A and B are shown apart, each in its own frame.
Chain A
Amino acid sequence: MSGIRVIADKCTGCEGCVGVCPTSAIRVENGVAIIDRDACTLCGACVSACEFDAIVIERADAPAKDDLASYHGVWVFAEQRDGVVNSVVYELLGKARQLARDLGTHVGAALLGSGVRAKAEILIQRGADRVYVVDHPSLQHFIAENYARCLAGLVRRHKPEIFIAGATTNGRSLVSRIAVEIYAGLTADCTGLDIDQEKILVQTRPAFGGNIMARIISPNFRPQMATVRHKVMPEAPLDVARKGEVIEETYDVSRTESRVRFVDFVADIASKVNLSEADVIVSGGRGLASKENFALLEELAAVVNGAVGASRAAVDAGWIAYAHQVGQTGRTVCPNLYIACGISGQIQHLVGMQSSKCIVAINKDPDAPIFKVANYAVVGDLFEILPRLTKKLKELCGE
């Protein structure tokens, strides 16, 4: 049976494990750590924290699927709406090429929808060797149940060894259903994917909003499935000369979900750029002081082709819609550039944006926690700085 064990000879009673246990399941008695098996969730935090390798989690291996070796190929879910392929797909294809090279296999893309056949070429030009197309009126709108059944069928038939999708709202809603249906391992919201010496996919993902990272594998199940965070991996370059194979699959109409009906989709037209796809986010907090002052952010965002974000304080004050909220109870973003204006940087906000590649913080309070994560810390009055910054950038960007 699986379990956790303290190796008494190695344990020094240092208590290094006590503080990291999220369920307070460890105490030290007579110089040795003792783990309360009822309270322990086997999360492994203590195993990683122990400097003496004195705690081990023994794992009775799950029954490995007997045909692991028959799975080949790295597949990408080609998420699209109304024929527009989500840009995260190109990022996935870039990563898939690298994984396929390390494994010596091909890259596949699964394209589902209605009237989407023509998009297969673009996927090939972006790195797919084979595109599996299921083109059917029943797949016109993303209905998780239909897409999951259809993809589970494709996976059973073609046996890819890796299957990745974007960690978008629809991607996450879909892939978990597939993993359950085919009994495969799934890791959510990965920021790193690599192949190890055993040819196993090592998936790196943040937890606690990026305060800790975990490496996760699924060695005994296929395909190894992951959703990947947007804007972390570079897009695959476009190569119009690239050739590939398009495989048209049939759709089993009899399995169409009749319990869910798409009614409509209303695009958020107020924001020209959506938060999760934005390379630049200009975000505002309590320091903006009013709804009207968000215009300052919109002007700057327009110059840098960015999206407007907000802290919880600004959303709760009714200055901007919840859809713009960044942070624990809002969205998690990681743009190339995050400009935080008048945001103090509570931990709940930081966990939603601290993976951004470059952070600029403008705040009056020199002790604001936001400055701890900022690449550029501007201690000053945002009302004096923002208009000048927008003006200078306009000049620089040649407007």
Chain B
Amino acid sequence: MNIIVCIKQVPDTTDVRIDPATNTLIREGVASIINPFDMYAIEEALRLKDKHGGKTTVLSMGPPQAQSALREALSLGIDEAVHLQDRLFAGSDTWATSLVLARAIRKIGAFDLVICGKQASDGDTAQVGPGVAAHLDLPQATYVRRITGLDLGATPPVMKAERLLEDGVETLEIVLPALITVVKEINDPRLPSLKGKIRSRSQAIPVWGAPDLGIKEHEVGLKGSPTQVVSIFTPEARAAGVVLKGEPEEIASTLAQEIKGLL
């Protein structure tokens, strides 16, 4: 079973602090990590490979430093990594990003499943996964919390997956090749092994640019992106709240009045 995992390098939010003077995000010295949801995607790929054999490949589009995220994926046990990097890609919105990933997946060729995290923790859009599926005309199952069945011997091969929705769980049966996005509930990601770490250090990571993917300048970056960011600003800080102190009875009484007023 050949599986491709799409990952993104994001700033570690545990490091993100707000500058109290300017109320802006302090990004200096913030470590970069693999998007937390992508860790579940990687783990699910590894588990499927452990069970069914095959090959796992990880893809990431991003600036040169994104290579460290790919190396981390290799250290966890992913077989191969490809870095999608080109100045032309800079400024790509979700439409153009999905195009780049889709072209790379097509270039890899034989695959049964593409796995993405449900969304990235910096952009929070959840658009790239379904976007990639649409570019490749793949069936999709998003917000997957469990793969409950997999029949690779069937013609065509088929998978059963549970989607975690707002008000319940939906089960879909989906023909492979397909794309799924996963939520945290699906597994507990492993830690890298020492052997994996050593191997990942020396493994070659090919870099594919726009020409390798047959992508033209007008298809990606700011030019190929239908959306434009006009401005980025910091929301107004919340006004300081009311502190309630005293006896529990008294606090409960005041609070009940306030809450009643809001209902």
Contact = CB atoms under 8 A, between A and B. Distances in A.
Interface of A: 1-2, 18-25, 37-45, 47-49, 57, 59-63, 143-145, 148, 168-170, 172-177, 179-181, 183-189, 202, 206-221, 257-268, 274-277, 279-280, 304-305, 322-323, 325, 328-330, 332, 336-337, 339, 346-348, 351, 354, 358-360, 371-381, 384-385, 388-389, 391-393, 395-397
B39 to A, nearest CB: 10
B77 interface: no
Contacts of A261: 172-174
Interface string B92-126: 01110010000000000000000000000111111
Interface residues of B, number: 100
Contact of A144 (B37, B140, B252): B140
A213 B233 contact: yes
Contact of A260 (B36, B145, B172, B230): B172
A293 B253 CA distance: 22
B255 A378 contact: yes
A40 B235 CA distance: 24
Nearest to A323: B164
Interface stretch (B43-51, B68-76, B127-135, B198-206): B127-135
A78 B243 CA distance: 42
Given A202-B230, A263-B172, 15 more contacts: A1-B223, A39-B65, A62-B225, A144-B130, A169-B143, A177-B133, A183-B226, A216-B227, A268-B169, A328-B36, A329-B36, A337-B263, A371-B243, A376-B255, A396-B256
B256 A376 contact: no
Nearest to A181: B134
B55 interface: no
Interface of B: 11, 13-14, 16, 18, 24-28, 30, 36-37, 62-65, 85, 87, 90-91, 93-95, 98, 121-131, 133-135, 139-143, 145, 156, 160, 163-175, 178, 183-185, 217-218, 221-235, 238, 241-245, 248-249, 251-253, 255-260, 262-263
24 contacts: A21-B27, A172-B125, A172-B130, A176-B94, A179-B226, A185-B93, A186-B95, A187-B227, A188-B124, A211-B234, A213-B234, A261-B174, A265-B165, A266-B169, A277-B166, A322-B185, A348-B13, A348-B14, A358-B262, A373-B238, A374-B241, A376-B258, A385-B251, A392-B256
